[in-house]
Amino acid sequence: MQVNVNELIEASDLKEPLYQGKRVVKKYPVAGDHKSHCMVFDWRDQGLLHVELKAGLTGRDLEPKDLAQYPVSFQARTFVDIETANENEDEEESGTSGRSGKGGGGKRPAKHAFSKALDAEHAEHGKIKRMMIMGKEIAQEAFAVAYENLKEQLHQTKIAAMDMMKGVANIERATPGGGLDAKGNETINYKYNIEKNSTMFSGPS
């Protein structure tokens, strides 16, 4: 599924610029113990933007004993991987290839890459490679609905991971929390019901 990366960044209301080569953590402080969380935007791999929900405000993985104190919705992974490519890369490569003599056909200098980062250039278009919500691998045909749910959650004062499942019916595989691996690879039909599911994943209010 093709997506507009700029739209995702705008929906996130980040306090600092995000571009290829950078990692940004958006914090969602919530009153009470073990409720605060954050969304990590990791674009250090210039070909992949990884956006993941994490418990706590540091953006780092917590120890299992600490993670267990948080609601179940934060214990299993929620993330999206978006393949990205700068639209100018092909033009730059074609411009350097075919040259004869010194410097012809070589890699772009590091100074050029650094200046691109300073200019906060980033790819406008991307393609969703993988998406998981609360440990449930989302099928490609459900990417559109789940991705729109994600963008809606990003500009809220807190992330409700279970709300990302609204309208999502196709799941490829379910992975439990606590570092356990998924078993099987069968398609699961899932029906979201906010009244029945909210207390299960959000923990006590």
Of 130, 167, 139, 128, the C-alpha closest to 8 is 128
Give 80's DSSP letter.
Answer: E
Sign of CA dihedral 186, 190, 144, 29: negative
Whether the model clears a pTM of 0.95, i.e. scores above it, the answer is: no
Per the listing, tokens 């074609």 go with 94
pLDDT tens string 40-65: 999 999 899 999 999 999 999 999 99
Cβ-contact 189, 136 below 8 angstroms: no
pLDDT tens string 155-183: 999 999 999 999 987 777 655 555 555 55
> With the CA atoms of 1, 146, 148 and 82 taken in that order, what torsion angle do they form, in degrees rounded to the nearest 10?
-40
Query: E strand or H helix at 41, and its extent?
Result: strand 37-42
Residue 163, phi then psi, degrees to nearest 5: -70, -15
